[in-house]
Amino acid sequence: MRTIAPTEASTETVVNRSRFICTLYRVASDAEARARISAHRKANWDATHNCTAYVVDDGQSARSNDDGEPAGTAGVPMLEVLRGRDLTDVLAVVTRHFGGVKLGAGGLVRAYGAAVAAALDAVGTVELARWQRLTVRVDYGLAGSLEGLLRLREDVRLVGVDFGAEVAFDLACSDVELLVDWLASQSAGAAEVEPAGTLRVEL
């Protein structure tokens, strides 16, 4: 799966004098997508249409809306572009300002799909992966040097550090077995490692 590189971006295309402004938002849930749509429509209340499509939850949840355009001519082709590029956590809103020339159903399908494709081409995407998440506990004598080494590893994402009776590193890694062996060698077997689910990371 992939997602957009910036958290928000916008591009404009013109078809037969109609302006199609595609705004892309990076969203983490259905609720966030709906909130973004509501805010966007309020900010662009004077537009002819604000058509939407989004994909979240690793591609498992997707929605589209034609916002008054003929059924299937706006939201669906927008969603097809997002799905065709294997994207998730992306909301596309295409704001149309009518230019006086009707495009017909086929013209609308092409225009809305092309608007989203052009925006994605302009902003770029990043690859996502789901890594194993771990809690690693060490004493304070080892923590400083170990943290520095962990931050240097490309196969590790350090999420956080908790300083309690001992130091607990919250991290994700691409290869658990490899990292556990490395931690054992760095700590002379003193590091305690516990599984903590999974975490989606950008590559």
CATH number at residue 148: 3.30.70.240
Give the domain-ending residue among 123, 139, 172.
Answer: 123
In this prediction, residue 6 has a pLDDT band, given cuts at 50, 70 and 90, of confident
| Antiparallel, parallel or unpaired: β 90-97 and 61-65 | unpaired
Please check whether residues 119 and 144 belong to one and the same domain.
Answer: no
* Average of per-residue pLDDT across 110-139: 97
Number of structural domains, the chain? 2
Helix (H, G, I), strand (E, B) or coil at 88: coil
Residue 143: give the domain boundaries. 127-202
Give the domain-ending residue among 64, 98, 123.
Answer: 123
pLDDT tens digits, 41-84:
999 999 999 999 999 999 999 999 999 999 999 999 999 999 99
* Average of per-residue pLDDT across 103-113: 97
Consecutive H or E run containing 199: strand 192-202
* Average of per-residue pLDDT across 103-121: 97
Give the separation between CA 143 and CA 131, rounded to whole angstroms: 23
pLDDT of residue 201 exceeding 90, the answer is: yes
Please check whether residues 12 and 94 belong to one and the same domain.
Answer: yes
Closest C-alpha among 134, 31, 29, 166 to residue 90: 29
